[in-house]
Amino acid sequence: MDKSIIKRDLFEEIVKYLNTDNILVLHGARQVGKTYILYYLNQYLHENGEATFYLDLEDSRMVETLNSGVETFLSFLSAEGVDFNELKRSRKKLFVFIDEVQYLSSPSSFLKLIADHHPDLQLIVSGSSSFDIKTKFSDSLVGRTVNFEVYPLNFSEFLHFKGLNFKLKQEPVPVHLQKLTSLYEEYINFGGYPKIVLENSLEKKEKYLQQIIDTYIKKDIRDLANIKDAQKFNNLLKVLASQSGSLLNTAQLSRTCGLSVPTINNYLFILEKTYIIKLLSPFSSSAKVEIVKSPKVFFFDTGLLKMLWLKNLQTGFFGNVLETSVFSELSKKYNPSNLNFWRSKGGNEIDFILQEKGGILPIEVKSDFSHFSKKSMEFFLQKYHQSAYRVVALRGKKILPQFIYPWEL
């Protein structure tokens, strides 16, 4: 195994679905590491005696080959040395990796024909966003795909990429606590894009993040959202970054950015489907109430947020950046669809409500444990007949068992 390709946590989930009849689909924002996950899977399978073939559709010749149809593709594989008779005889599969599958003109029909008529091939494909994939994937693939969302690195992966090994579930000794706190502050300041984490130069970190932003706007958003005024869209991104963790007010955004409310809503939809932001809905026992109340907006990556907002990765962070970081960690571990926030008419508020395994867990985020006031939490616990809760902070003393550090989520 090439040691330069670092294993992501998602690998353990994906590997469960190898050697099945499913098409495995990885989607996520640009530069979050989808291609390297494919590389790792390819190496893993190859080293375990499996036959693999890798296609990168950034190469227009490969796009042309696959767009020509399944038979042309099979002929291409045969010319590349794939022995289909041997596959049938050995009852093994050929694992075919297709990177950037959204470049195909009609990926659904191609993938469906392979899945339906060639069980000796298992497809593992990636795309640059769920929007790209879903707009080109038809209902004909329902039940044939298993989808995996790839996000920037979580904190555990961040440490792994830096060659560090901490047992995060154990209570750290003081010297380790100081080190982990410093590392988490670095993680907050620079975010979890793999290339940014591996780069030591602050100047290069900023340049690479700006390139991600520029590529996203020029290559993804301009095409997907049909942007007529790029400057206004850039202003929207900056305002949203400054408001990460706050209630969304589309009317106010419309006035601030000079965009109509329908245009704002269209841009927000695209930003969500390309894994830049998440609109977090309020928690309520009434579905009707959830629909009426405004959502909160969160960015998935704090480094990207700071570059959009502040134009640099200056050290030090604000409360909303820490809260955004905790949101990102919870999303990667538990899936953003399992998260809400809660706010009562009387002004009581809980940062996050995690719904998992039939239960709910309220979570408050503070920069220091000493800043926690139990008023809102007690109100929520009494209202919903709960007892468990967590308070996440980076500083202060853990005087209650409910107090945890971000890496203990």
Q: Using only the alpha carbons of the chain, give its radius of gyration.
A: 23
Exposure pattern of 98-129 as b/e (b: 16+ CB <10 Å)?
bbbbbbbeebbebbbebbeebeebbbbbbbbb
Nearest to 111 by CA among 130, 131, 133: 133
Q: To which H or E segment does residue 362 belong?
A: strand 359-365
Strand pairing category for 94-99 and 121-127: parallel
Phi, psi (rounded to 5 degrees) for 58: -70, -20
CA 355, CA 339: separation in Å to the nearest integer?
6
pLDDT at site 289: 60
CA 114, CA 98: separation in Å to the nearest integer?
13
Q: Which amino acid is at 182?
A: S
Residue 229, by phi and psi: left (phi above 0), alpha (psi -120 to 50) or beta? beta
pLDDT in tens, 53-106: 999 998 999 999 999 999 999 999 999 999 999 998 988 999 999 998 988 888
Place of tokens 């990207």: 304
Place of tokens 């301009």: 222
> Hey, what domains does the chain have and what are their CATH numbers?
11-150 (3.40.50.300), 156-408 (no CATH)
pLDDT at site 215: 84
pTM over 0.85: yes
Running along the chain, 409 residues long, what does each successive block of 10 average in pLDDT? 81 96 91 95 94 94 95 96 91 94 87 91 84 58 86 96 88 89 94 96 94 81 73 92 95 95 92 92 74 86 93 75 96 94 90 91 96 95 95 95 95
Nearest to 406 by CA among 364, 377, 378: 364
